[in-house]
């Protein structure tokens, strides 16, 4: 187990196996903590694709592996890096984002049927809203045409009554029967009727156009809800959260649990005390740093150690004394 944990955390197994028990336990705990969010995201990704989006099994497995691998890499980077303040701040921010996203996905799986019902309600409401928008856009034109049609219909009916009164002698010339004046008034009534029918046809065409535009808007809206559209499902879920206090309570609970799980690696890394293995690594790093600094400064004790050997110094001094000169 320890060797596998070292593979996850990037620690030296040969060095760690001879260390104290707390050192080995901490590395093992950090390695196990990495798999908690990894498994959680694998399961969430798998169920999201398989149960919610109703995709094939192999697609769901691939999606779960992809999500789990991404989280595994992120958590592994956190474990292998030093616990600096910037890293902790970045990990906290990332945990907020991942937990919020993960809670939304997990709730999508748990409340799949409820969310589907809410999507149907949202879709019908949106379709009605789109149809009303189309109706409102043509409202002035339609009202004007309806008024024109009504006026022409009234004029047509009035012309028919005038022709009828002329024919029975109750008004007009007072001569009964279909004579020249009656025919003239009937022709006038026919002309007015044609105007009325033209206006009525124009109104019917407008009504058909409105209906066509409404159906087009409804079809576009319907298309936006097909294939379990993710954004529409998330919107429906939050509509449920806003309207159902039980749903809100459960959503908050799931989100809180996910926050805890996402922070698990950071919490363990920051709160667990420094072990003997870590102090040993720090000492090795410090010694190595000092040695490199001495080399950079060309300190002969580190750069050319042989030149500070006593025998070398004595031999060098003797050579200097025995050198020939013009005076000896």
Nearest-5° Cα angle at 1, 29 to 24: 50
Query: What's residue 305's pLDDT?
Result: 59
Nearest to 30 by CA among 273, 266, 282, 275: 266
Query: What's residue 317's pLDDT?
Result: 74
Query: What's residue 189's pLDDT?
Result: 77
Among 46-60, 134-148, 264-278, which range has the highest average pLDDT? 134-148
Which range, of 108-117, 131-140, 197-206, averages the lowest pLDDT?
108-117
Which range, of 102-106, 167-171, 191-195, 261-265, averages the lowest pLDDT?
167-171
Query: What's residue 322's pLDDT?
Result: 62
Whole-prediction pTM value?
Answer: 0.61
pLDDT at residue 118 is higher than 60: yes
> Which class for 318: exposed (0-12), middle (13-18), buried (19 or more C-beta within 10 A)?
exposed
pLDDT at residue 164 is higher than 60: yes
Residue scoring higher pLDDT (317 or 145): 145
Task: At 52, give phi and psi (nearest 5°).
Answer: -85, -55
Residue scoring higher pLDDT (206 or 48): 206
**Share above pLDDT 70 across residues of the chain, in percent, rounded to a whole number:** 84
Give me the mean pLDDT over the 182-202 stretch. Answer: 83
pLDDT at residue 208 is higher than 90: yes
Nearest to 255 by CA among 106, 120, 70: 106
Among 2-16, 74-88, 124-138, which range has the highest average pLDDT? 124-138
pLDDT at residue 12 is higher than 70: yes
Give me the mean pLDDT over the 173-181 stretch. Answer: 61
40 pLDDT band, cuts 50/70/90, is confident
Give me the mean pLDDT over the 95-124 stretch. Answer: 82
Residue scoring higher pLDDT (169 or 252): 252
For 296-308, write each residue's pLDDT tens digit.
766 555 555 566 6
Give me the mean pLDDT over the 56-65 stretch. Answer: 92
Query: What's residue 59's pLDDT?
Result: 92
Give me the mean pLDDT over the 184-210 stretch. Answer: 86
Query: With helix as H, strand as E and coil as C, how does the chain read?
Result: CHHHHHHHHCCCHHHHCCCCHHHHHHHHHHHHHHHHHHHHHHHHHHHHHHHHCCCCHHHHHHHHHHHHHHHHHHHHHHHHCCCCHHHHHHHHHHHHHHHHHHHHHHHHHHCHHHHHHHHHHHHHHHHHHHHHHHHHHCHHHHHHHHHHHHHHHHHHHHHHHHHHHHHHCCCCCCCCCCCHHHHHHHHHHHHHHHHHHHHHHHHHHHHHHHHHHHHHHHHHHHHHCCCCCHHHHHHHHHHHHHHCHHHHHHHHHHHHHHHHHHHHHHHHHHHCCCCHHHHHHHHHHHHHHHHHHHHHCCCHHHHCHHHHCHHHHHHHHHHHHCCCCCCC
For 73-100, write each residue's pLDDT tens digit.
888 887 887 656 776 677 678 777 877 7
Q: What is the mean pLDDT of the chain?
A: 80
Query: What's residue 2's pLDDT?
Result: 83
pLDDT at residue 327 is higher than 70: no
């Amino acid at each position: 187990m320890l060797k596998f944990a070292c593979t996850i955390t990037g620690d030296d197994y040969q060095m760690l196996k001879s260390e104290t028990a707390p050192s080995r336990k901490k590395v093992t705990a950090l390695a196990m903590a990495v798999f908690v969010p990894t498994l959680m995201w694998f399961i969430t990704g798998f169920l999201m694709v398989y149960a919610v989006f109703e995709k094939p099994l192999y697609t769901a497995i691939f999606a779960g592996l992809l999500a789990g691998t991404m989280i595994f890499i992120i958590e592994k980077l956190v474990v292998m890096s030093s616990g600096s303040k910037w890293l902790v701040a970045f990990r906290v921010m990332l945990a907020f984002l991942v937990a919020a996203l993960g809670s939304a996905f997990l709730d999508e799986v748990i409340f799949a049927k409820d969310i589907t019902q809410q999507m149907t309600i949202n879709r019908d409401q949106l379709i009605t809203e789109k149809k009303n928008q189309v109706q409102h856009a043509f409202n002035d034109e339609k009202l004007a045409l309806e008024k024109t049609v009504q006026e022409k219909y009234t004029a047509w009916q009035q012309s028919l009554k005038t022709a009828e009164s002329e024919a029975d002698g109750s008004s007009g010339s007072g001569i009964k029967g279909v004579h020249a004046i009656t025919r003239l008034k009937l022709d006038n009534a026919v002309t007015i009727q044609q105007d009325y029918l033209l206006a009525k046809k124009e109104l019917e065409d407008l009504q058909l156009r409105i209906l066509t535009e409404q159906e087009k808007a409804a079809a576009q809206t319907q298309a936006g809800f097909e294939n379990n559209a993710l954004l529409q499902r998330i919107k429906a879920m939050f509509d449920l959260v806003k309207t159902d206090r039980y749903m809100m309570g459960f959503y908050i609970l799931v989100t809180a649990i996910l926050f805890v799980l996402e922070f698990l690696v950071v919490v363990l890394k920051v709160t667990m005390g420094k072990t003997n293995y870590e102090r040993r690594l720090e000492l090795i790093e410090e010694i190595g740093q000092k040695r490199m600094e001495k080399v950079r400064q060309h300190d002969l004790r580190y750069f050319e150690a042989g030149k500070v050997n006593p025998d070398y110094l004595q031999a060098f001094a003797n050579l200097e004394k025995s050198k020939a000169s013009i005076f000896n």
